[in-house]
Amino acid sequence: MQTAWDQTYLVWGLPLFGSALVAAIPILLLLFLLGVKRKPAWLAALVGLAATILLAIAAYRLSFVHTLSSAAYGAAFGLFPITWIIYWAIVLYRITVETGNFEIIKQSVGRITSDMRLQVLLIAFAFGAFLEGGAGFGTPVAVASAMMTGLGFSALDASAICLLANTAPVAFGAIGIPVITLAGITGLPLDRLSADVGRVCAPVSFLVPAYLIAAAAGRRAVVEIWPAVLVCGATFASVQFFVSNFVGAPLTDILSSLLALAALIVLLRFWRPRGDVESEQRSTRVSLRALRNAADVTHSSPLPSASNTATMLQHERAPQLRTREVIVAWMPYILLVLFVLAWGYKPVQQFLNGATAAFHWPWLHNEIRRMPPVVVKPSAYAATFTLNWLSAAGTSCMFAALVSAAFLRMKAHAIIRLLASVARQLFLPTLTVTAVLAMAFVMNYCGATGTLGLAFAATGALFPFFSSMLGWLGVFLTGSDTSANALFGNLQVVTAQKLGFAPTLMAAANSAGGVMGKMISLQTIAVAAAATGLTVPEQATLFRFTLRHSIFLAAVIGIEVFVYAYVFHVQ
C-alpha cells in the first residue's frame, strides 16, 4: 500500500504570512491578468493553472503525478456537472430565440405597463432574474438592457438599471450552478448550502426593488409606487427563501422571478400609480439624474428619444398577442420547471440514481493527508468522481430542451445545427471553467488553500464580514459567482473550521457577497455596452456609478453574515 503524502502549510521555511503570499501567487496573477491587463478570461485561467501547477510542485513538493491528477479531477468536475448544466440551459434559451418565441416573451412582458418605473421592476428586476435563472452568464444584462432601450430608456440608464438589478438572482443563476459548484468544491451538502445562501440573499432581495427604484427614480418614486415595490420584493424574497430551503438550488431563480412577475401583473389589474403618463415620465426624468450628474459625458434623456419614440409607437401599433401565443412562447420554461421538479422528487431521483457511476479518482483518492491545524487530526483526502448522468440537474434541462424543440416543431437538422452552434459558442467559456476548477482543485490538494485559510484566520472575530467581501472581490475580478466559488469556496470552509464558525454559512457568504461584485465586473459591463452601444466614456461613467452601490451592498451582506454568526449563532 502506498504511503500517503502529508500536506504542509509553510513553504520554503517562511512564516505563515510569507507562505500565504506565495500560496496566493496564482490567484493574484489570475486577477492581475483579468483586472489590470484586461486579458481574456480563458487565457488568464490557463496562465493561473500553469502557475498553480508550478506552485504545487516547487513550493509544496506535491508529486508531479498527484498534481496532474488533481488538475484532471478539477477539470472533469468542470465538464460534469458544471458545463453540462450550462450547455443545456443555453440550448433551451437558444430554442426560444431560434423559433421566434423569445420575441413574444419580451413583448408579453414589455406591454404590461407604460410607466417607466414599473418597467424597471418588471423587466430589469423580475424578467432579468428569470433570464439569470434560466441562462445566466451575462444573458439578463444583455437582453433586459436592450429591451429597456427599445422602451425609451437611454443606453446608459438602461445599462445602469440592469446591472443594479442583476444582484438578487446571481447566486442561483443558470439553474443553480454557482451553488452546485460551491458544493462540489467544498464537499458540503448541497441542500445545506442552498438553504444558507437563500437565508443570506432573501433579506437583501426583499430590499433590492426599493433600492433599485430609489437609485433610478429617487426616493419619492418609491413612495409613489410602494405597492408594486412591496409586492415585487416580498414575493421574490419569500419564494427565494422557500425554494432554496425546501426545494433546491436549480429552481430558486426560475420560480422566484416567475411568481414575482405574476404578482406584479395581478397587482396592475387592480392598481395603478396616481397621476397621468406625463407625471410618470416627469418622475422618471428626475429619475437617473444622479447617474447623469456623475457622467462627464452627454447622453440621451431617460425619456424617449426620437428614434426610441418611433420604436415605441411601432411597438404599440403591433397586433395584440393572443393568449395561446404567449403560452406557447413560455412553454420551454414551463417544461423546465416541470422537469426540474420531477427530478427533485425523491422516488424519481432514486430511480434515476440507479444509472449513477462513481469511482475513486486514480493517483489521488486517499493518497494525500490533510494535517493539523487545518483539521483536528490527520485525515485522508478523498477524491471520488460521481457520474450521475441521468439524475443530474443538467439532464433535466436537456429533456426540457428536447421536448421543447419537439413541441415547437423544430426540424431535426435545425436542432443539430443549434446544438453544434451552442457547442462552438461555449468552447472558450468551457475552457475557462475547466481551467479555474483545475486550478482550485490543485490548490486544495497541495495545501495552498490550507495556508491561505490559516492566514485569513488572523482576521479572527471579523472574518464573517471579510468572508463576504472576499466573494465580492472574486466576482468583481472574474465576472462569475461560479468562478469565485471555485477559487475561494474551500478557503472559506478551512478558515471557518479554524475559527469555529459554521462552514456552510461562510461558504454561503462567499456566494452571497459575490453577487454584489457582478455589477462592476469588467465582463458584465462589456456585455451591457455591447447590448446598448455604450461609448468608452459612458462605460467609465457606468463603472463609477455602480461601484459605490456595489461596495455598499457588499457591506450590507457582510454585516448580515456577521449578525447570523454572532446573534443567531448559525451552525
Per-residue pLDDT at 307 exceeds 60: no
Per-residue pLDDT at 289 exceeds 60: no
CA distances to 115, 171, 431, 489 from 571, in Å: 45, 21, 36, 17
pLDDT for the residue numbered 25 = 93
Mean pLDDT, residues 273-279: 53
CA–CA gap between residue 248 and residue 371 (Å, rounded) = 33
Q: Which amino acid is at 300?
A: S
487-508 tens-digit pLDDT: 788 888 888 888 888 999 999 9
**How sure is the predictor about 364, in pLDDT bands with cuts at 50, 70 and 90?**
very high
The secondary structure element, H or E, covering residue 5 is: strand 5-6
Indicate the pTM of the whole model: 0.76
Per-residue pLDDT at 301 exceeds 80: no
Closest by CA to 135, choosing from 7, 291, 253, 264, is 253
CA distances to 10, 372, 453, 490 from 17, in Å: 9, 17, 11, 19
CA–CA gap between residue 273 and residue 271 (Å, rounded) = 7
36-64 tens-digit pLDDT: 787 887 888 899 999 999 999 999 999 99
Chain-centroid distance of CA 398 in Å reads 20
The DSSP output letter for 182 is H
Region for 218 from its dihedrals, namely left if φ exceeds 0, alpha if ψ lies in -120 to 50, beta otherwise: left
Chain-centroid distance of CA 490 in Å reads 18
Which grid cell is 248?
433546491
CB 171 within 8 A of CB 511: yes
Chain-centroid distance of CA 348 in Å reads 28
Radius of gyration, alpha carbons of the chain? 24
More confident of the two residues 277 and 42: 42
**Residue 386 forms beta bridges with which residues?**
358
Mean pLDDT, residues 281-293: 45
Chain-centroid distance of CA 18 in Å reads 33
Give me the phi and psi of 166, to 5 degrees please: -80, 55
